[in-house]
Amino acid sequence: MTRSRGGGALRRLLSYLRAQQLERVESAVHPRLSVRVVSGRLRLDAARVNHSGGKLRDAWAQAFDALRPEQRRVERALLLGLGGGSAIELLRERGVRAHVDAVELDPVVVRVARE
């Protein structure tokens, strides 16, 4: 595991010029996971899959804009694939306080998302 989470404000600023690596980890499920800051936002990527942030976060945002969960009485939600937690973060930003059960195959992804 490689970790470097210091220098937050500077890293965020530099991320608009070039992605800033914060952490690299391996797991039995994913041979390579990386946490980076890209254009001021956190991203969790596996070797060939974006798990959170970037265009995936934008896709969730568009879906929630269309579905308007904040206007519904959502008490519980099931999320298949936690990733970095972008979907939960977006729900919270919209004022949705539902209990979310997230299912994630990789315990390393859960740990990284919590950090």
pTM, whole model, 2 decimals? 0.79
Secondary structure (3-state) at 96? coil
Q: What is the percent of the chain where pLDDT is above 70?
A: 94
Domains held by the chain: number: 1
Q: What is the 3-state secondary structure (H, E, C) of 52-89?
A: ECHHHHHHHHHHHHHHCHHHCCCCEEEEECCCCCHHHH
Tokens of 38: 């890209």
- The boundaries of the domain holding residue 91 are 2-114
pLDDT digits (tens, 9 = 90+) for 77-111: 999 999 999 999 999 999 999 999 999 999 999 99
Decide: 103 and 79 in contact? Cβ < 8 Å. yes
The span from the CA of 11 to the CA of 13, in Å, is 5
The span from the CA of 19 to the CA of 104, in Å, is 26
pLDDT digits (tens, 9 = 90+) for 48-69: 888 888 888 999 999 999 999 9
